[in-house]
Structure 1
Amino acid sequence: MRDVYVIGTSCTAFGKRPQDSFKALAREAYLDMLRDAGLDSGSDIEQAWFGNCGMGTFGQRNIRGQVCFTPLVREGLFPERVPMINVEGGCATASMAFHGAWKDVASGDMEMSMAIGVEKTFFAGDGGRTLEIFEGGIDQLDPEEWHSYYAEMGHEAGKPFEPNGGGGTVFMNTYAMQAAWHMKHHGTTQEQIAIAASKNHWHGSMNPKAQYRFEVSVDEALADREVSWPLTRAMCAPIGDGAAAALLVSGDRLAGMDRAVRERAIKVRGSVLTGGKYRAASEPGLSRVAAQKAYAKAGLSAADVDLVEVHDATSFCEIFQLEMLGFAEDGKGGAFVAEGHTRLGGRLPVNLSGGLVSKGHPVGATGLSMIHELALQLRSEAGERQAQKADIALAENGGGVIGFDEAACSVILLEAPGA
């Protein structure tokens, strides 16, 4: 496998953007990515991977990327005859696109490949359309299987499964059951979840691209409207729109590029995908498998990681993923967060972007927004939320659900320029 480098990333502002079409968001992210890479055009791009989950609700169930990029091709901004592969994998969609572009280059098949994720999940006055997008992340062919599983897990957790209860989707209720199980068996507290939420809202208040740019105290997070106990609104990712992208090249291609590009290039140390299953509540999740494989391929360990972005669809997820990724002992993730280790200035800053709960969560764009944040941090370009110099960063992104697992999980390891 060849060395692969990220030379350009982008992320639009996340939020409720009803005035912006899928095509407009794709254009914004693509052109910003080229500018970040120091390129006047994308003429050398040999393949593109386009991630999206929601365009089918508009009737565009196929050739989504080709449709969004047709105006760019017509205007000479994207090269003609370049293949574009459409990817859909729930909330892990953008990371799957990144993985495809990485394999293009690592395999030697391409010298330059692109990944982009574009999503709209907010539709003013049409909550049903939003719900349709999210319902695609769970088995609709045999729903009785997960109903039975969650009924059993609810009994184990001491929190009955209520598929239509609370103020959120079925996913918020399943996350709440996992949190309740963790609280029951490990002593994790609602306050620790609130600390994670408050910390990420603070980080997000410094991110100009974040959907929520305000701070939330621990007490305010605890007192906010309950979605599904123990989770409140401040602990859950919002609905929103946005896009993000990344441009990847081989080491050989990078060697022939301008010095300014070479000096900002970020090496991809590893990219791994895993698949979920119906697991026992006490069994580790699929992100542990993904992380262990990624560490092994990169010749690294959890101790080598300086900076992390995790998929905190709820703030409990951050606590759980810290354990799965090897940064905290099982059952100790809540204490790890409460001790301040994951804050800006802590020994392992987590979700300096604000995470999903503050930055936002446009499903098909989320994974690449993590890559964008880590690129800013590794290049020391993150402004007031800049971490101390970091050499190795990790992104964890999960999508869909199969029981207490995500249906798919991505772990990506990145290395700073000159590290």
Structure 2
Amino acid sequence: MPDATLRDVYVIGAYTSAFGKYPGRSFKDLTREAYLGVLEDSGLEDGSAIEFGWFGNCGMWNADQACIRGQVCFTPLVREGLFPERVPIVNVEGACATASMAFHGAVKDIMSGMVQCSLAIGVEKTFFAGDWERIQAGFQAGIDNLDPEEWQDHYREVGEAIGRPFAPGGDRTIFMDTYAMQAAWHMQTYGTTQAQIAAAAAKSHNNGANNPKAQYRFEMTAEQVLGDRPVSPPLTRSMCAPIGDGAAAAILCSGDFLANLPKEAQARAVKVRASVLTGGKYRALDEPSLSHVAARKAYDFAGLSPADMSLAEVHDATSFCEVYQSEMLGFCDFGDGGKLAADGETALDGRIPINTSGGLVSKGHPVGATGLSMIEEMVRQLRGEAGDRQVKDPTFAIQENGGGVMGVEEAACSVVILERTH
């Protein structure tokens, strides 16, 4: 449970750009859209109240900007008087969990009492037209490049254990092969089927068809998912997140700050009940992951349980991840995630709707922005502003966002719980 001296934290603004492939848009363009969008959503007249900024990005080094990324991207906004001068910006990187780390920093700003209003923003470009080598380099940065033989040996051992040789291919990222091996082990151990994974993918694509910000906006059946091009068996293309660009942001504030805002802004505020980060390790195949640890800590901090959750946004870099993370978050027993999806319990009208946004497989996955886009979806749902994909009367929402790879789990993980306040 939280210390009584910690301050309450509220999200008063949340925004995500439409995710997609935008070769003509720069990092600064995406930063501008996300910042001005979140400012408008918050109802603040301008950004003068913002005291601190957390800027998440993974791949700007790929555009020759390795340092001071946030400061560079905000320079035009400061010059134009749109962002206050002298506000510190901390640059954050945690692979696919980057934006969630930025959010966590802003949460701690408010919770500690040091800051009354803080900005978290994630900006990413992973698509470079006609340059697959450059695209691959961006994703390769999310694994140990100092001692690559360590993870290579580990994956060969895993491959031998499941009777499936580790054989990465040049037409996909290494992550797809690691997820495929985990899926194969899960199928052998628990009887999970490819059709169950396809059910999760189809559900997410159907949700994404109703999300105007999603990269892929078309419905799919489980049969169509199964019939799509194989990527790394048992995964097909429709079960894997696409490459793309985008940005997302949130503005957080204290209870005292919120009390001085107009009634309309107060009514749209969403409370942060927990924000937890955990670190990865080389774990055994049958050992619960870092997301399971993060979820238990988050539930404990919030004084809640999996049964209290109204919806979840989980990191489905592949649809197997959704199956697995539904188990790690406690929505079903270990091994039952596939059945949970196939039985319709994760649909919009199911017991625990998962990835109402369309998830990464449909909404898209610009890595440095993904975590905050998940937060934006949960905020939208809790406010009752999600349109055709709105969950009925939600009270609590939970996010799980992993980043990087360390063996058969992520190197970093975020779990966030939000609460409707009105």
Displacement after TM superposition at 1:158 (Å)? 2.3
Task: Spell out, residue by residue over 1:150-198, the C-alpha distance to the aligned partner (whole angstroms, 9 max, x if none).
Answer: 0111122222111236x31110000000000000000000000100000
Task: Spell out, residue by residue over 1:363-417, the C-alpha distance to the aligned partner (whole angstroms, 9 max, x if none).
Answer: 0000000000001100000011111010000000000000011000000000012
1:296 to 283, 295, 300: 300
Structure 1: distance between partners of 2:409 and 2:389: 31
Structure 2: distance between partners of 1:155 and 1:15: 38
Structure 1: distance between partners of 2:58 and 2:25: 17
Asked whether the equivalents of residues 157 and 178 of structure 1 are also in contact (C-alpha less than 8 Å), the reply is no
Q: Does 1:370 align with 2:374?
A: yes
Structure 2: distance between partners of 1:382 and 1:158: 44
Segments of 5+ residues of structure 1 without an aligned counterpart are none
Q: Does 1:349 align with 2:348?
A: no
State the SS of the aligned residue for 2:283: coil
Q: Does 1:360 align with 2:364?
A: yes
Report matched runs for 1:276-295 at 5 Å.
276-295=280-299
1:83 to 76, 88, 108: 88
Task: Spell out, residue by residue over 1:263-287, the C-alpha distance to the aligned partner (whole angstroms, 9 max, x if none).
Answer: 1100000000000000000000000
Structure 2: distance between partners of 1:47 and 1:18: 30
Residue in 2 that maps onto 1:35: 40
State the SS of the aligned residue for 1:405: coil
Residue in 2 that maps onto 1:184: 188
CA RMSD of aligned residues (A): 0.7
Residue in 1 that maps onto 2:309: 305
Asked whether the equivalents of residues 394 and 412 of structure 1 are also in contact (C-alpha less than 8 Å), the reply is yes
Residue in 1 that maps onto 2:323: 319
State the SS of the aligned residue for 2:369: helix
1:116 to 105, 112, 121: 121
1:136 to 138, 141, 162: 141
Residue in 2 that maps onto 1:58: 63
Q: Does 1:158 align with 2:159?
A: no
Residue in 2 that maps onto 1:95: 100
TM-score by length of 2: 0.98
Residue in 2 that maps onto 1:21: 26
TM-score by length of 1: 0.99
Structure 2: distance between partners of 1:284 and 1:239: 28
Q: Letter of the aligned partner of 2:143 in structure 1?
A: I
Task: Spell out, residue by residue over 1:237-260, the C-alpha distance to the aligned partner (whole angstroms, 9 max, x if none).
Answer: 000000000000001111111111
Segments of 5+ residues of structure 2 without an aligned counterpart are 1-5
Structure 1: distance between partners of 2:328 and 2:231: 25
Residue in 2 that maps onto 1:404: 408
Query: How many pairs align?
Result: 417
State the SS of the aligned residue for 2:95: coil
Structure 1: distance between partners of 2:349 and 2:163: 37
Structure 1: distance between partners of 2:43 and 2:163: 54
Asked whether the equivalents of residues 158 and 180 of structure 1 are also in contact (C-alpha less than 8 Å), the reply is no
Displacement after TM superposition at 1:230 (Å)? 0.1
State the percentage of identical aligned residues.
65
Residue in 2 that maps onto 1:330: 334
4+ runs of 1 displaced by more than 4 Å?
none
State the SS of the aligned residue for 2:114: coil
